Protein backbone atom coordinates (compact mmCIF):
# COMPACT_ATOMS: atom_id res chain seq x y z
CA UNK A 1 0.00 0.00 0.00
CA UNK A 2 1.60 3.24 -1.14
CA UNK A 3 -0.81 5.69 0.50
CA UNK A 4 0.17 8.14 3.20
CA UNK A 5 -1.96 8.19 6.34
CA UNK A 6 -3.77 11.31 5.09
CA UNK A 7 -4.47 9.83 1.66
CA UNK A 8 -5.68 6.59 3.22
CA UNK A 9 -8.04 8.51 5.50
CA UNK A 10 -9.40 10.53 2.57
CA UNK A 11 -10.04 7.31 0.61
CA UNK A 12 -11.80 5.80 3.61
CA UNK A 13 -13.88 8.94 4.08
CA UNK A 14 -14.90 8.86 0.39
CA UNK A 15 -15.93 5.22 0.76
CA UNK A 16 -17.87 5.97 3.96
CA UNK A 17 -19.77 8.74 2.17
CA UNK A 18 -21.17 6.15 -0.26
CA UNK A 19 -23.13 4.58 2.61
CA UNK A 20 -26.44 5.80 4.05
CA UNK A 21 -26.24 7.81 7.26
CA UNK A 22 -27.03 5.03 9.75
CA UNK A 23 -24.36 5.64 12.39
CA UNK A 24 -21.90 3.46 10.46
CA UNK A 25 -23.83 0.21 10.86
CA UNK A 26 -23.70 -0.89 7.20
CA UNK A 27 -20.11 0.23 6.75
CA UNK A 28 -19.09 -1.66 9.88
CA UNK A 29 -20.94 -4.76 8.71
CA UNK A 30 -19.32 -4.70 5.26
CA UNK A 31 -15.85 -4.12 6.66
CA UNK A 32 -16.26 -6.91 9.22
CA UNK A 33 -17.44 -9.31 6.52
CA UNK A 34 -14.59 -8.26 4.22
CA UNK A 35 -12.00 -8.72 6.99
CA UNK A 36 -13.19 -12.25 7.69
CA UNK A 37 -13.23 -13.10 3.96
CA UNK A 38 -9.67 -11.80 3.59
CA UNK A 39 -8.45 -13.77 6.60
CA UNK A 40 -10.10 -16.90 5.21
CA UNK A 41 -8.55 -16.27 1.79
CA UNK A 42 -5.11 -15.87 3.38
CA UNK A 43 -5.79 -18.94 5.53
CA UNK A 44 -5.24 -16.97 8.74
CA UNK A 45 -7.05 -17.92 11.92
CA UNK A 46 -10.06 -15.79 12.80
CA UNK A 47 -10.18 -14.85 16.48
CA UNK A 48 -13.46 -15.95 18.08
CA UNK A 49 -14.21 -12.39 19.23
CA UNK A 50 -13.84 -11.02 15.69
CA UNK A 51 -16.04 -13.75 14.27
CA UNK A 52 -18.76 -13.10 16.87
CA UNK A 53 -18.67 -9.33 16.32
CA UNK A 54 -18.86 -9.76 12.55
CA UNK A 55 -21.77 -12.20 12.79
CA UNK A 56 -23.67 -9.88 15.13
CA UNK A 57 -23.18 -6.80 12.98
CA UNK A 58 -23.93 -8.60 9.71
CA UNK A 59 -27.16 -9.96 11.20
CA UNK A 60 -28.12 -6.48 12.42
CA UNK A 61 -28.54 -5.30 8.84
CA UNK A 62 -29.62 -7.00 5.68
CA UNK A 63 -26.51 -6.69 3.57
CA UNK A 64 -26.80 -6.37 -0.18
CA UNK A 65 -23.93 -7.27 -2.48
CA UNK A 66 -20.59 -5.86 -1.42
CA UNK A 67 -20.44 -2.15 -2.25
CA UNK A 68 -17.95 -0.66 -4.72
CA UNK A 69 -14.44 -0.66 -3.31
CA UNK A 70 -14.96 -3.70 -1.08
CA UNK A 71 -14.46 -6.84 -3.15
CA UNK A 72 -16.21 -9.97 -1.98
CA UNK A 73 -14.39 -13.30 -1.92
CA UNK A 74 -17.65 -14.89 -3.05
CA UNK A 75 -17.53 -12.71 -6.17
CA UNK A 76 -14.24 -14.29 -7.15
CA UNK A 77 -11.99 -11.53 -5.83
DSSP assignment string, 17-75: TTS-SSTTHHHHHHHHHHHHHHHHHTT----HHHHHHHHHHHHHS---SPPTTS--GGG
Which residues constitute the domain of residue 29?
5-62
Domain contains 76: no
pTM of the model: 0.53
Domain contains 68: no
Over the stretch 47-58, which tens digit does the pLDDT of each residue have? 888 878 777 877
Domain contains 67: no
Domain contains 16: yes
Domain contains 71: no
Nearest to 27 by CA among 75, 64, 73: 64
Over the stretch 18-49, which tens digit does the pLDDT of each residue have? 877 777 777 777 888 888 888 889 999 888 88
Amino acid sequence: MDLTADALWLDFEALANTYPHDAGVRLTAHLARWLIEERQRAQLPIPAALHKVAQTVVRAVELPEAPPGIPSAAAGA
